[in-house]
Copies of this chain bind each other. A is one copy, B any other.
């Protein structure tokens, strides 16, 4: 990285790098998104292709904002983990072959003419984004839980991102809530992700349909010519109180509520933020049963209901904006 670092009165670029798409946004010093760009990640094509596509997407966003790379103070990207945010290295990405000890920040920096590049995991960035700019504004101790294909989380304690000893804290999706439950993508059994992610909900709805239960989702899929139960299809069937969908989502809500209570009992935060595709699509009708279970399972009944359980506010931009916040924190520190 170059020695002539940018300053905090220049824009930064935040990047949400996911398994399917990369979303880059130019963010002003006052945290406005000046322009965004998006393309497919092509994660299966290997590190070099991902780096190239990410760099292109950053350049597109910068052009879209009418700027040049030289106007940008720094870039921060989400990255798969476990990772070392200080060294900018992806130590290992279990589901992506070839991602072992990849100097990801340096590679991206080289693709962007030597701009300072930082990395963190997407849900830590999402939690940081919500903390500084979204639902967590004004709080000091918060936990973010993001429910989508998988489930991830982030923790803010005393106003700072708690990264943990090995920078791997916050793996809420892999907390076991149902010992000996379903096999999870991580290889364990009964993790929250295995019983409450969109993947788990989709699996259990298909199990019901294959066993002969009727459900409105088959009609919706046919109508829309779709194969997968996306969050918006789940939302439509849930709003129509489809019995199978309501039952399966009800179980996911129960496990999410129990897990929120586990986190409250362990960490005792002020606020729990729920975000991610499933939460966004289903909105507050999805959260209310989670709240009821969480408060029931919270040990400290005196304070339970003062611990707010709220939806995320930044939607698809939480990780991107969190990345911008993290880039500025790192610039200020270094």
Contact = CB atoms under 8 A, between A and B. Distances in A.
Contacts of A167: 268
A258 B82 contact: no
Contacts of A140: 165
A266 B268 contact: no
Contacts of A265: 168, 171-172, 174-175
Contacts of A180: 178
A263 interface: yes
A170 to B, nearest CB: 7
Copies in the complex: 2
Chain A contact-residue range equals: 35 or more
A300 B166 CA distance: 9
A301 B92 CA distance: 10
Given A176-B262, A255-B179, A262-B175, A299 B186 contact: yes
B169 A82 contact: no
A170 B177 CA distance: 17
A157 interface: yes
B267 A303 contact: no
A141 interface: yes
A246 interface: no
A99 interface: no
